[in-house]
Structure 1
Amino acid sequence: MDVLIHVFVGLHIIGIAALLGGFLGQTKALRTGEARMLPGMLHGALTMLVTGVALVGLNQADDNSVNNVKIAVKLALLVVILALVYVKRDEEKVPSGVMGAVGLLTTANIFIAVLWT
């Protein structure tokens, strides 16, 4: 079971990388007002959602402790990220505030995962 959990952690990190990488790749365009949501950002957020839910289930099935408050906060942030990316995915230009919110919420999600013990 530990190997399966580690595989899903790796996939979860790949999802985070796709989402944050998409945001960071748009920072130059963000300054000029030409930023847009990339398809990889949506795919990364969906990967984070699926693998995160799987990780919670696998950890509970393996009798590992799960901090439900932490998971709820991370899920709430991810739902907001997903909503922003999904709604703005077809627009040619995304407002800098929306793109900034996606980057900020993604970064917050990472720090919550790492620092909240």
Structure 2
Amino acid sequence: MEALINVFVALHIIGIASLLGGFLTQMKAISAGTARFTPAMLHGALTMLVTGVALVGLNQADDQTVNNIKIGVKMAVLIVILGLVYVKRDEETVEKGLFAAVGGLTVANIFIATVWT
């Protein structure tokens, strides 16, 4: 079971890398006002959602304790990110504030995952 959990953790990290990488590669585009949500950002957020839910289930099946409040906060932040990216995915440009919000929420989600114990 531990090997399966580790595989899903790796996939979860790949999802966050895709979402954050899509944001970071467009830092210059933000200042120019031409930033847009890329398919990699959408797929990264979806990967995070699916693997996160799977990780909670696998950890509970393995009789490990799960901090449900932390998971709930992380999921709420991810749902907001996913909603914003999904709704605006076909637009040629996204407002600076909205794009920055997705980046900030992504970084916040990383800190929630790593700092909240």
Which TM class, normalised by the smaller chain length? over 0.9
Percent identity between the aligned chains? 73
Q: Residues 66-91 of structure 1, C-alpha deviation per residue, up to 9 Å, x if partnerless?
A: 00000000000000000000011000
CA distance in 1, matches of 2:92, 2:25: 15
Residue matched to 1:54:
54
SS in 2 for 1:63: coil
CA distance in 1, matches of 2:61, 2:97: 40
Residue matched to 2:99:
99
SS in 1 for 2:43: helix
CA distance in 2, matches of 1:95, 1:31: 10
CA distance in 1, matches of 2:96, 2:43: 21
CA distance in 1, matches of 2:114, 2:93: 32
Structure 1 runs (4+) greater than 6 angstroms displaced? none
Q: In structure 2, give the amino acid aligned to 1:57.
A: G
Q: Residues 1-59 of structure 1, C-alpha deviation per residue, up to 9 Å, x if partnerless?
A: 00000000000000000000000011110000000000000000000000000000000
Count, aligned residues: 117
CA distance in 1, matches of 2:52, 2:40: 18
For normalisation by structure 2, the TM-score amounts to: 0.99
Structure 2, unaligned stretches of length 5 or more? Answer: none
Alignment RMSD: 0.3
